Structure 1
Amino acid sequence: MTDWKAVFVGFLVGVVVSVFAFAIPVIGHIGAGLIGGFAAGYVAGGGIGSGAWHGLLAGALGGLVVAILLAIVVTVAGVAIGGPFGLLGGAGVFAIGAVIALLLAIDSAIGGAVGGLLN
């Protein structure tokens, strides 16, 4: 069963660490995913599998939030500029963003597995 408190804690930790990750662009964002996933896995406990699941959800949640915000910006810009592609552009951006969010959540799953193991 999913512990949504653990997922939310991991998400918040990942967001806070991501703010500081801009100082070291590539390593910082990977580290933010690992730390956020670790927090989710540690809070959830239950071993490697449970920790990885909760870390994956926390990382994917962060990516989905970014995808939603980006889709809204593209939709509003598309409608403001005019033409029929405002809503379709936003939907396309969200679809691509959702796939990328799941791929980028792999580091959070790894961190979550370590956190679940150490709890």
Structure 2
Amino acid sequence: MVNWAAVVVGFILSVILSSLFSVGGAFGVYLGLFIAGLTVGLMVGDGALNGAWNAAVAGAFGGIVLGILAVIVGTLFGGVAGFFAGLAVGFVLIIVSIIQSLILMGIGGAIGGAIKGD
């Protein structure tokens, strides 16, 4: 069962932490996503599977929002051509971000859920 309060917190943390840690490159982004997933897992508890599930849902929302922001930024800076470029990049970014966030936040959530336990 999805704990929506934990998913919202995880989503917000994934956006903030991956943005803050992005100074360190890809590793910083991965670390931010992992910490956000770990936090969700600790909030939810009830074992590794439940923590992984809730963290993965939060990561999916983060990936979708990141893709939407790419389309908006492309449109603002490039007009119609930027819209189509942002749409193409946004679509690829959504797919990659969802996979990346699902895996990293899911691992963190599983660890957090296992630490908190039942």
TM-score (normalizing by structure 1): 0.82
**Percent of counterpart pairs with the same letter?**
35
Once the two structures are superposed, residues 62-92 of structure 1 have per-residue CA deviations (whole angstroms, 9 ceiling, x without a partner) of: 222111111112234443xx5xx55544432
Q: CA RMSD in A?
A: 1.9
Gaps of 5+ in 1: none
Number of residue pairs the alignment of both structures matches? 115
For 1:16 and 1:87, the matched residues in 2 are separated by 25
In structure 2, relative to structure 1, the CA distance for the partners of 1:74 and 1:41 (3 Å cut) is same
2:87 equivalent to 1:91: yes
Contact 1:60 1:104 in 2 (8 A): no
How many angstroms does 1:50 deviate by?
Answer: 1.0
2:7 equivalent to 1:10: no
Contact 1:8 1:40 in 2 (8 A): no
Contact 2:6 2:40 in 1 (8 A): yes
Task: Name the residue aligned to 1:114.
Answer: 111
Gaps of 5+ in 2: none
Contact 1:10 1:40 in 2 (8 A): yes
For 1:111 and 1:39, the matched residues in 2 are separated by 8
Once the two structures are superposed, residues 13-68 of structure 1 have per-residue CA deviations (whole angstroms, 9 ceiling, x without a partner) of: 22332233133212211110110001111112221111111111222222221111
From the CA coordinates, give the structure whose radius of gyration is larger. Answer: 1
For 2:7 and 2:50, the matched residues in 1 are separated by 11
Task: Name the residue aligned to 1:101.
Answer: 97
Task: Name the residue aligned to 1:62.
Answer: 62
TM-score (normalizing by structure 2): 0.82
